[in-house]
């Protein structure tokens, strides 16, 4: 019998305040690690992720990660 999985798509990004005050916001590696570890404790495994820069309020950029995870059903 084939193993069945469920999938979860999450967008991880920093708050808007850094972008507003600094003109751009990068993801904090420590906070991103905490996010990944929290999901890992719940059985989620990262399948793929993509870094992107999201525009907000016309002039500011905010770094984000689109993360696709799976776990056995």
Q: Long-range CB contacts (< 8 A, 24+ apart) of 12-16?
A: 12/64, 12/65, 12/67, 13/54, 13/62, 13/63, 13/64, 13/65, 14/62, 14/63, 16/56, 16/60, 16/62
pLDDT in the model for residue 60: 65
> What domains lie within the chain, and their CATH numbers?
5-72 (3.30.70.60)
pLDDT in tens, the chain (73 residues): 899 999 999 999 876 554 444 444 677 889 999 999 999 999 999 999 999 876 666 666 778 899 999 999 9
Amino acid 58: pLDDT: 61
Query: Exposed/middle/buried for 67, CB within 10 Å: 0-12, 13-18, 19+?
Result: buried
How many residues can be counted in the chain?
73
């Amino acid at each position: 019998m084939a193993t069945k999985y469920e999938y979860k798509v999450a967008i991880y990004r920093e708050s808007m305040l850094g972008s507003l005050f600094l003109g751009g916001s990068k993801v904090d590696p420590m906070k991103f690690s905490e996010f990944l570890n929290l999901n890992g404790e719940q059985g989620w495994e990262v399948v793929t992720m993509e870094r992107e820069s999201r525009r907000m309020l016309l002039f500011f950029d905010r770094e984000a990660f689109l993360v696709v995870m799976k776990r056995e059903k």
